[in-house]
Each structure stands twice: as C-alpha cells, then as structure tokens.
Amino acid sequence: MRRLLLLLTLFFTFSTIATAKTPSGQVENVKLNIKDNEMAITFLGISEGEATLIQGPNAENILVNTGGMSTALELEEWLDLYNVKKLKALILTNDISEDSINQLMKLVSKYKIKEIITTPKRKRQLVTHPLPADLTVTNWNAGTKTSILPEVSAIVQYAGDNQNEGLDFMLEFFNHRIFLMSSYSERAEKVLLNKNLEDVNIFKLPNYAMEDTLSKSLIHSLNPEISILFAGAEQLPNADILDDLHEAWSEIYYTKKHGTITIKFTETKYEVITIPIYEE
C-alpha cells in the first residue's frame, strides 16, 4: 500500500509570465532547513531544458543539468532563490553542445564547482577544452555506485553515448528511491526492464515525455508514486504516456503547469512543495 503523501503547496503573492521564469526580487528565499538525515530534490521550472537541484544538510548542493541555451539567467535566479552559493558537483546526463561550453564554464566559476560528472564520451568532449586546474571531470558507467551526499547514494542503471541516450541513475536515501531517466532508446529500455527498478517513489521522465519516449511496460515496472515531467518548448506530453502513468496510479507533476517542484525527504516520509506559475 502506498504511503500517504503530505502534499504542501506554497502560494506566493507574485505575478510572472507563463514560462517558468523566476520572480526575481519579488519572492523571499526558499528556506528548506535541511537537517541531518534529510535531503531535498528540486525540479526547476525553467522555460527550456532540464535542471534538477539535489540538496543535503550543511548547504551541500549538486546540480543535474543546466537547462537550455537561453535559460542561463533563469537558472541562476532559481539557484539564488534556493540560497545556493556553491555547488559540490555538476552532473551532465545528456549531450553537451559546443556552444554551451562557455556557459558551462561560467557556472563552474560562479558556483565554485570542483567536479563534473558525465558519461565517458562526454568526458572526452569536455577535456578537449581548457578547464580550470582544480576541476575534475569524472565519468560514470553502468553499475557505478557512489555516495554523493550524506545518506544519498547514486547507482547508475544505464550509461549510453548513442543517440537518445545518456545517464540514467537511481538515488537511494534510506528507503526512498528517486529515478532520474534521460535515455529513451530501444536498447536502453531493454536494459532497464531487466533491472530491479520497481516501486520507485519519484520518477523523472526523459525528453519531456514525448511520443516513443518509454513504454507502458517500463512505466508499470517502475510503478512510480510521483512522476515529474519537464516542459518542452511548445511541446505537450504524449497522451498515451500520461494514460499509462494514470493507470499506474502515479501522481503527475508537470513544470509547465506546476512550476518548480521541490520534494523534501526525511528518513520515513516526504513532502511535495510547489512554486506555481501565474500568467500576467
């Protein structure tokens, strides 16, 4: 039986445009007050691409992806809103365009990033560029298991470098399981279907849940309590995938509708906090 979720929605008295841009200067900082044996994961409501913030106690922060080419300012405003001054690491799950390297290095400098984690192919791409001497580039392979924050382990389920493939990894925090999926190739799905991935608490879908992104079999295998869909530019999630998620009794959060979504975990439960988007 699924646990009773504590669903909290924070409503702020601000107005912003329908794309999920930060209400800079109009909203007080979000204070999650993360204590020992707690963590939070935030799916940032940027208007293009994906960016996910993982936070532990003692102001330890890890960023997964950096959004789109046009969202650098949005990303920084959201990080400021969550009081992020420094990032322990940056995880890049998908392809890195040559045009984005300079933007990436600005983030490295501003947030004092000491490690970038990605796939072997993308590591080779990165190290061909001039990098700060104190920056480490690490590649994760399928099967890699490592502690990234206190009590938080990342276990790589799939690491692909072909088209429509990237890093797919599970975060484990006590009995909580958070699956961040980026790949949507036929090969990746076959591998994932043969793994012990059932009863996921939080599932971040790949590629904005577009058509042919993932099958009904994989959704029912994961059996997610909550599903997170990032908003694609002028794209709507595939209706069949949404139906499959509903059949699996998954609660769906969509950044274009719900804005930024934070999930805070203790040892035994979690709560969902949203910063909604309002049209002018």
Alpha carbon dihedral 259, 65, 231, 187, in 10-degree steps, equals -140
6-29: average pLDDT: 42
Check residue 98 and give its pLDDT: 74
Residue 21 has pLDDT above 50, yes or no: no
Residue 25 has pLDDT above 70, yes or no: no
For residues 27 and 20, the model is more confident at: 27
For residues 7 and 182, the model is more confident at: 182
* Tens of pLDDT, residues 158-182: 999 888 999 999 999 999 999 999 9
Alpha carbon dihedral 262, 114, 150, 93, in 10-degree steps, equals 50
Residue 143 has pLDDT above 50, yes or no: yes
Check residue 129 and give its pLDDT: 87
234-252: average pLDDT: 91
* Tens of pLDDT, residues 105-136: 999 999 999 999 999 988 998 988 889 999 99
* Tens of pLDDT, residues 190-208: 999 999 898 899 999 998 8
Residue 183 has pLDDT above 80, yes or no: yes
Please, what are the domains in the chain?
A: 6-19+35-275 (3.60.15.10)
Buried b (16+ CB within 10 A) or exposed e, 171-206: bebeebbbbbbbbbbeebbeebeeeebeebbbbbbb
